[in-house]
Amino acid sequence: METVTVGCGSGASASRREKAIAVAREPAVEYLCCDRLAERTLANAAANMLAEPDRGYNPSLERWFRAVLPECVENGVRIIGSFGAANTSVASEQVIRIAEELGYDLNVATVLGDDVLDAVLEESVDLSHWQTGEPIDYDRRNIVDPSAPPLFAHAYLGADPIVEALDRRADIVITGRVADLSLFLAPLIYEFGWCNGDIDEIAGGATVGHLLECEAYATGGNLYEPGHVDIPEMDDIGFPIAEVGPSGEAVLTKPDGTGGIVSEFSLKNQLCHEILDPTAYESPDVTLDVTEVELDGIAEDQVHVSGAQGSPSPEDLKLLVGFDNGLFVEAGGSWAGPNSYEKAETCIERVIRPNVDRWEHSDQIFHGPRYDIVGVNSIHGPAVTTPDCDPNEAMVRVAAKIETEAAADDFADLVGNCVGMGGGAGAGGLVKQVRPNITIFPATIPRSHVDQSVELHRIVPRRTDS
């Protein structure tokens, strides 16, 4: 096989289906790979599954597959994606149901094994921070009940089970927590037959996966800088596509007629994204060295990528462990017009803070509260001084982590009442939100504790009487 063409179908839990369709319609694309997970989205999915056992998979799954699957079937494109989130088996059941309703003859594979909660609960896993090696510090992480067991634990699987699924002729592969780049690397390993000795080839494929995994980040989606960098047709930025050769070298582009750019500059920015050590970027499949990667523009929106080097993958897999950490509360309100900032600041200092300080349930606050004026100091906090000019509007945000639901609801009411009563005329847009708070601890787990497997389901269209 001379080349394999892999397209990005998504890089976030809510990536739009229209973008994936544009990639699937490109004549050369053979695989549509979809990253639908992040640490936050996995935590949200786990919380949803704990509340309702039939939830916990990607919430946009049905809309996405009903729109995109027909395009992929028509064009012979295989789908790989982490739509399973915290509930992979149920996600696969939903995909199978959709495919059956659409009348398709397909093989759907389910990758299992990332859920390793049992191993963690058995205390056979050392919960040390995956970067520093330090044991978990419950006090520093403000865990409300250090004695409570974790809610979930998911290991980052690599490409191997996806390769197995493709070898078993899967048309759709549904995974849970798989390393982002591994979703894109797997079809390359399968098609080219790379093995452990092909370390630089795998490194090249991993580099391609890293460039594709964040969708529009590779095509200019995060590059616009007023007065310095402009991006064409920002309303329709296309997702990246890679035509990859057996050596791991590739040409990156995007669908014809879509906005954005594919350039040395756009790919350099994505290449550096989330990499701490460019000489040793660890994944379950390879330790990647991108310091010698060369990016050469060969035509408009076409960049040749080469030069990646690799070394063996780490012995352990990354692990995310989630702990129940009470409830997260946000409440506040906004002002508009002259003196908005002064009114917001006065409301915090002379109304909200004194009421919170004497609140009868203050012992229920185990982290916070935090007082912000959005647009002024909500990111940089106390490092920000009073703004030089009076903003047209200002929004107060008060946030805290609270133990019980009753206290959390009362705290939100207290802050909302304070905004309505203090700080001067013009207050409005009251916001009150209470939601479960899950704290995630990143650790590692020996591969021997991870029992990954692949289940294959053959869909046979129902026969109807004529």
Query: Which one, of 456, 452, 457, lies nearest residue 112 by Cα?
Result: 452
Average pLDDT over the chain, rounded to whole?
A: 93
Structural domains in the chain, sorted by start: 4-114+156-314 (no CATH), 325-438 (3.30.70.600)
The neighbour count for residue 171, using CB atoms within 10 Å, is 22
What's 462's DSSP letter?
P
CB 176 within 8 A of CB 86: yes
Q: What is the tens place of the pLDDT at every residue in 1-41? A: 699 999 999 999 999 999 999 999 999 999 999 999 999 89
d(CA 312, CA 430): 54
Tokens 């549509």 label which residue? 32
SS (H, E, C) 113-151: CCECHHHHHCCCCCCECCCCCCECCCCCCCCCCCCCCCC
Q: At residue 321, does pLDDT exceed 60?
A: yes
- With cut-offs at 50, 70 and 90, classify the pLDDT of residue 462: low
Q: What is the tens place of the pLDDT at every residue in 366-413? A: 999 999 999 888 888 888 888 888 888 899 999 999 999 999 999 999
DSSP per position, 185-254: HHHHHHHHT--TT-HHHHHHHHHHHHHHTTGGGGGTTTT-BTTTB--TTGGGBPPPEEEE-TTS-EEEE-
Q: What is the tens place of the pLDDT at every residue in 435-448? A: 989 989 999 999 99
**111 three-state secondary structure:** strand
**What predicted TM-score, i.e. pTM, was given to this entire model?**
0.92
Predicted local confidence at residue 389, as pLDDT: 83
The CB-side HSE value for 111 (13 A sphere, CA atoms) comes to 34
Predicted local confidence at residue 463, as pLDDT: 53
Cis previous bond, 27, omega within 30: no
Predicted local confidence at residue 126, as pLDDT: 81
d(CA 39, CA 33): 19
- With cut-offs at 50, 70 and 90, classify the pLDDT of residue 137: confident
Q: Rounded to an integer, what is the distance from CA 327 to the centroid of its chain?
A: 22
Average pLDDT value for residue range 98-121 = 96
d(CA 124, CA 119): 6
Q: Taking phi first (over 0 means left), then psi (-120 to 50 degrees means alpha), and beta for anything else, what does residue 274 get?
A: left
Q: At residue 466, does pLDDT exceed 50?
A: no
Q: Per the structure block, which two tokens stand in for 439?
A: 């704290």
Q: At residue 80, does pLDDT exceed 70?
A: yes
Q: At residue 464, does pLDDT exceed 70?
A: no
The CB-side HSE value for 244 (13 A sphere, CA atoms) comes to 33
